[in-house]
Amino acid sequence: MAGFNKVVNSYEEALAGLTDNMTIIAGGFGLCGIPEGSIAHIKKMGVSGLTVVSNNCGVDGFGLGVLLEDKQIKKMVSSYVGENALFEKQLLAGELEVELTPQGTLAEKMRAGGAGIPAFYTATGYGTPVAEGKETREFDGRGYILEESVTGDFAIVKAWKADTFGNCIYRDTAMNFNPMAATAGKITIVEVEEIVEPGAIAPSEIHTQGIFVDRVIQGTFEKRIERRVTRD
């Protein structure tokens, strides 16, 4: 009896069931708080035709950028995809599709998707190219557009600690999109720096509750820094 124990011992187990043409929601902002082990294993699995919903697409050779190397990604849904030469090349060659989405709208799409809300109105993007083809409506004299939420076949998440029940906490700004991504996967995988026993994290300090989490795996993290700036 596994009960509520979500811990798996390999990325094979963690990503079991991921196949071609699925949608993956990935936490992270730039290279901060990204599920490094899941990304590396998806590259190893070789699945293709993926739609990946994530704020960014990593950089050349690290983060989600490695999934471009073997053309595993069909479509990216992101707010910002600069800093990636291979991305640019595949986009211009028509090998990759991108749906640029305002950052707040992207976070809300994940949040709403995880909360069972199919769409929401927002002022963000009204009157801009983002509004093209979308329903609009006025509330109190202001224009809003209808944005549909997103869910994924899988969500890949990076947390600081999780207990064996899948209750998670994040550390500093490595939180970012991870809590929303965790709610929006049919199967949610959380990779962590440390797995702890239930009760080790105080109940009121838990950021993501175990009910949203299907698989927990102990990860190892390089934590590459994209822009190292000091005041020295």
Partner 1 sequence: MALSRDQIAMRVAQEFKDGDYVNLGIGIPTLAANYVPEDIEVMLQSENGLLGMGPYPTEAEIDADMINAGKETVTAITGASIFNSADSFAMIRGGHVDVTVLGAFEVDVNGNIASWMIPGKLVKGMGGAMDLVAGAKNIIVTMTHANKKGESKLLAECTLPLTGVNCITRIITDLAVLEVSDGAFHLKERAPGVSIEEIQQKTAGKLIVDGDIPEMSF
CB of 204 to partner 1, least distance (A): 16
Give CA angle at 150 (147, 153), nearest 5°: 165
Considering only residues 6, 14, 30, 201, which one is a binding residue for partner 1 as defined by CB under 8 A? 30
> Is the CB of 84 or the CB of 164 nearer to partner 1?
84
**Cα separation of 157 and 91, whole Å?**
26
- Give the H/E segment covering residue 216: strand 215-218
Q: What is the dihedral of CA 188, 192, 196, 197, to 10 degrees?
A: 10
Considering only residues 62, 121, 124, 146, which one is a binding residue for partner 1 as defined by CB under 8 A? 124
CB of 107 to partner 1, least distance (A): 4
Q: How far is CA 208 from CA 70, 124, 143, 232, in A?
A: 33, 27, 34, 37
CB of 17 to partner 1, least distance (A): 26
Strands of the sheet with 136-139, listed across from one edge: 119-122, 142-148, 136-139
Considering only residues 61, 104, 118, 199, which one is a binding residue for partner 1 as defined by CB under 8 A? 104
CB of 48 to partner 1, least distance (A): 24
111 and 183 Cβ atoms separated by less than 8 Å = yes
Q: How many CB atoms lie within 10 A of CB 27?
A: 28
Q: Is 84 left (phi over 0), alpha (psi -120 to 50) or beta?
A: beta
Considering only residues 178, 185, 192, 214, which one is a binding residue for partner 1 as defined by CB under 8 A? 178
> Is the CB of 18 or the CB of 110 nearer to partner 1?
110
CB of 15 to partner 1, least distance (A): 24
Considering only residues 15, 26, 66, 107, which one is a binding residue for partner 1 as defined by CB under 8 A? 107
Considering only residues 111, 192, 212, 215, which one is a binding residue for partner 1 as defined by CB under 8 A? 111
Considering only residues 38, 78, 90, 167, which one is a binding residue for partner 1 as defined by CB under 8 A? 78
Q: Which residues bind partner 1 (CB under 8 A)?
A: 29-33, 55, 78-82, 88, 91-92, 100, 102-108, 110-111, 122-130, 143, 170-180, 207, 223-232
